[in-house]
Each structure stands twice: as C-alpha cells, then as structure tokens.
Copies of this chain bind each other. A is one copy, B any other.
Amino acid sequence: MEFMEGVNRKDTLEISELLAGDYTGKEVKINGAVHTIRDMGDVAFVVLRKREGLLQCVYEEGVTDFDIKTLKEASTVEVEGVVAVEDRAPNGIEVRLKTIKVLSEPTEPMPLAISKWKLNTSLEAKLAMRPISLRNVRERAKFKIQEGIVRGFRDFLFKEGFTEIRTPKIGAKGAEGGANMFRLEYFHRPAVLAQSPQFYKQMMVGVFDRVFEAAPVFRAEKHNTKRHLNEYTSLDFEMGYIDSFEDIMAMETGFLQYTMELLQKDYAKELKMLNVVLPKVDKIPTVRFDEAKKLVSEKYDRQIKNPFDLEPEEEVLISQYFKEEYDADFVFVTHYPSKKRPVYAMDDPADPTYTLSFDLLFRGMEITTGGQRIHDYNMFMEKIAARGMTTEGMEQYLSAFKHGMPPHGGLGLGLERLTMKLIGEDNVRETTLFPRDLSRLEP
C-alpha cells in the first residue's frame, strides 16, 4: 500500500530560496516559463518567469548542453546551472546554464509582447487576450496587491473578533430591490442573484455579533462606465453592540491602517513595480454630506444641482478639497439623505431626513457605503410602512429583529475600486481578472 505523507518537497528552487541561501557558485535546479530569449550569438540571455519574479539565465555555447536555436519563448523548462552575482540582472543574480529540459512548448507565437515592461496595448486588447496579457509581470502585480487587500481585510477582522461567513448568491429576493437584479429560473421558481449579502450579514449579527464576507455580488446595471462592473467583489462586514455609526468608520480606518502596513511588508516588490505610493491613513477626515456639498460649491464655484445625492463630479471635488485643505486621500462623507438610502438605514434622531450613514471617498471616488442599521422591529415596520413597501419575502430577515437584535451597523467595500484607486488606474476593469460588463461575458 502506498501512502501520501504530506507535501512533496522538490529540488527545484524558487527565487526567494535562491536569495535567502548562499547559492553563489553552487549548482541549482530551477523551473519556469521562458519569458524572453536575447540571442547574442555565442551567448544568450534566457529570462525565466517564475511566480516570484524574473530570473536571468545565461546560455553559453559549449557550456550549456542544448541547442538554443530550438528554444521557444513561452516554453516551460527545467534548467540546471550555477548561480552567480550579477548586478545588472533582476534580483542581482543570474544562473549560468548547464542543461535545459523543455517541459512544454507553445504552438503559436505570442500575440502580445508580454515581456515588455509596459504592455503597449489597449485595455480592449488586454481584456480580449486576458490569459496572455496577465503574464506581463506588471499586469499580474496588480492582482498580488489585490490579494494583499483581501488578506488585510480578513486578518484584521479576525483579530477584531469577527467570524467569516458564506451567504447564498441565489435567492428569492434581492437586498436592495429595484431593476438592477439578474433574474434566473430556479427549478421553476423565479430567483435573483445577490446584489449584496446585506440581509444575511445582518441576520448573522444576531448569531456571531461580528461577521464579514468577501464574495462576489451581481448588479444588472446598464452603466458602461469606468467605475461599474456587473459582477464584483464586495468586502462586507457587520458588527453588533455599536455605540454609534462612527464605530463602523473607526473600524474601517483600522482596516485601512492594518492593510497599508501589510502591503508595505509583504507586497513591497509589487508596489515598487507599479510605482505605488501608499496613501496616508493615520487619520481620515469626516464631513457631513450637506456640509461637503456646500464646501465644494463655495470653493470651486459650482452650483448644487441635486441636493440628495453626490454626483461623480462632486465626489472628485470633495476629494480635491480634502486633499488641498488637509492633505487627505480619504474622506468620510456622513449623514446621507434618508430618501436616497435603503429602508434598513437608521435615520438620525436629530433630523430624520438624514441617516446615520456614510460613504468613504478615496481619491475622488466612492469605495464604501456603510452606516448604522435599524435594530428595533417596531421602528423597522414603521419605516417600511411609511415607504409603502411590502414585507413579502422578508419574513425570515424580519424574524431576526422580532427576536432581538443588538444595535449594529456595517459596510460594503468594492474591492476592484479600492485596488484601482490604490494603484492609480482609472478603469475598474484594469483591476479585475475577468471583468463582466455590458459587453463582456468572456473570457
């Protein structure tokens, strides 16, 4: 009988292993994809692409036991050679090849010059050839940083006593209602895809006090803008026993502080590759919605057109204002008008036309919506009635309130938008592996 006893350790080395041990002058075995070949005649530079970066290998005729003319870019190989210090090579080392073994070969030449530092191609082309364009090391670096943001979110919230939950994406009713739901047939019953885990995370506050989820949400919005996707990743948390909605903003500030530190620590290579300067998050200004409107109207001589919502242009100006006045990259805009917030939002007792809610703007764009929720069943029923809404399909959700819920609130954060603004991109498709929009359903 054969047994599996744990991870098979390999004799092939990764870049971090090469850099950690003193392998100079020693023979090593390495695998990777042939990123580029620069053939100089007797000598050729073969750069391997590995998960941790690029590694320069030197082919020398007579020394390397292989015919370099037969090696194709985009092949995958396993090579043996001797490590040498070489300041001009990535990471300061190179491998002087003795052998090359081809593991696989492409059948066609690359449609994109992925080995260039910057892919000189349109977003359209990059998305149409996604499995190839992502092989560019700067393209893939964006998604390492995105990974780091999600790690930061989870690790920070675990530390703060949150429980990770998994809520269904197919349901009978959407959390926000309205027209922007994808509809499907579920065994002869009408169903929708989740716009948000809102109802579920609130129900789970009654169970675990503090919960979070990082998962896809779906919105059938017919916007074809640089900031909208029809499927995106929502980082959601919801917490009970809050004293005010400011506890939610404080928790988000803590998340941002933790995550910027994590990125600096574990993703410094990718930040450098993309020339990212991390934003300051030691303190984030807060401003009331109506006050923010007034401030930018005055400073930038702009008429207030819609008193109940922020236009994208106003988000830009509010960010500009707080950058200029306070050198702030983020700003919390609080107390949104009640009529523009969902029914579950807690109205401000001081003035119920406003809510105890907020958006977080980051470099000109809304990336988070959050706030305190109604926790009292009777108050909830009154607000539902006042809006002329039905409770149909909300029975289970409302039962959580009937049977006691702590004061609570939470937020939802768009991962792709945060990533985009953090790395200085201007289209959310740049920070989505396989975007779904009005025209894109593949790859």
A positions within 8 Å CB-CB of B? 1-8, 10, 12, 14, 31, 33-34, 50-52, 72, 74-76, 78, 103-108, 110-111, 129-132, 134-135, 140, 143-144, 146-147, 150-151, 158, 160-161, 163-173, 182-187, 189, 191, 193, 200, 203-204, 206-210, 215-216, 218, 220, 222, 230-231, 233, 240-241, 243, 246-247, 249-254, 257, 282-287, 326, 332, 375-378, 393, 395-397, 399-407, 415, 433-436, 438, 441-443
Contacts and interface: CB of A to CB of B under 8 A. Distances in A.
Copies in the complex: 2
Contacts of A246: 4, 8
Contacts of A131: 203-204, 206-207, 396-397, 399-400, 403
Contacts of A129: 396, 399
Contact of A51 (B31, B210, B407): B210
Given A1-B326, A170-B230, 13 more contacts: A5-B253, A5-B283, A8-B251, A33-B404, A72-B404, A74-B403, A74-B404, A76-B404, A104-B404, A132-B403, A151-B158, A165-B433, A216-B216
B443 A407 contact: no
A186 B437 CA distance: 10
Contacts of A170: 182, 193, 218, 230-231, 436, 441
A331 to B, nearest CB: 10
A395 B415 CA distance: 28
A285 B5 CA distance: 9
Given A168-B231, A207-B140, A209-B50, A103 B8 contact: no
Contacts of A220: 187
B441 A172 contact: yes
Contacts of A1: 285-287, 326
